[in-house]
């Protein structure tokens, strides 16, 4: 059972304030991002299919690593990221990364895997409000001991749960 803590009450209040006054989508997005950790948890288990080790995005200083320069900077700050091989598009941008340490669906360096791997899939969920289509984890709403009365926040929650249901059905 989830009881609203001081942090969530503050988020909720700001959410209402934004709805009544500024109506800024960016503020609502940011508050939604903060509230996801309070309202949801991940259940299920890893299928150990290595899906998240292929075609992955990397971020450095909160920016998408999409050029060789940014990638070099990332590796300079943390050499363990050298394991990720960039896939370049024709305009020299990096489209995504593949990890060289994935062999037959298994990580060859599991105990020393970098933070980007350890935080997956929760980091992905926080960023995209969903999980990769084939992921074995699921997004679940915590048992709330209070009713969320704000319509736009209710809609965001319902929308995310609906998309998660659809994802689960198609993953079967
Ligand atoms: S280090 Fe391991 S967990 Fe991380 S992407 Fe590579 S194979 Fe996957
Ligand atoms: S995509 Fe999900 S189920 Fe597949 S390896 Fe990654 S965490 Fe595990």
Q: Whose CA is nearest to atom 1 of ligand 1?
A: 113
Q: pLDDT under 50 in the chain at which residues?
A: none
* pLDDT at residue 10, rounded to an integer: 96
Q: Could you give the 3-state DSSP secondary structure of residue 87? A: strand
Query: How far is the C-alpha of 122 from the C-alpha of 107, rounded, in Å?
Result: 19
Q: Residue 58 to residues 32, 34, 74, 92: CA-CA distances in angstroms?
A: 22, 21, 9, 16
Q: How far is the CA of 51 from the centre of ligand 2 (A)?
A: 6
Question: Candidates 100, 109, 111: which one to mutate for ligand 1, based on the most atoms within 8 Å of Cβ?
Answer: 109
Q: How many residues does the chain have?
A: 172
> Does ligand 1 come within 6 angstroms of the Cβ of 130?
no
* pLDDT at residue 136, rounded to an integer: 95
The closest-lying atom of ligand 1 relative to the alpha carbon of residue 116 is 4
* pLDDT at residue 105, rounded to an integer: 87
């Amino acid at each position: 059972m989830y009881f609203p803590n001081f942090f969530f009450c503050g988020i909720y209040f700001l959410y209402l304030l934004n709805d009544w006054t500024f109506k800024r989508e960016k503020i609502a997005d940011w508050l939604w991002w903060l509230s996801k950790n309070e309202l949801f948890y991940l259940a299920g288990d890893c299928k150990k299919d290595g899906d998240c080790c292929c075609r992955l995005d990397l971020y450095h200083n909160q920016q998408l690593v999409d050029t060789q320069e940014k990638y070099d900077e990332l590796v300079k700050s943390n050499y363990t990221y050298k394991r990720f091989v960039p896939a370049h598009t024709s305009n020299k941008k990096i489209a995504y990364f593949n990890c060289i340490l994935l062999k037959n669906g298994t990580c060859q360096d599991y105990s020393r895997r970098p933070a980007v791997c350890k935080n997956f899939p929760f980091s992905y969920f926080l960023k995209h409000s969903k999980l990769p289509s084939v992921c074995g984890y699921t997004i679940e709403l915590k048992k709330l001991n209070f009713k969320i009365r704000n319509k736009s926040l209710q809609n965001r929650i319902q929308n995310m749960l609906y998309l998660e249901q659809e994802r689960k059905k198609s993953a079967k």
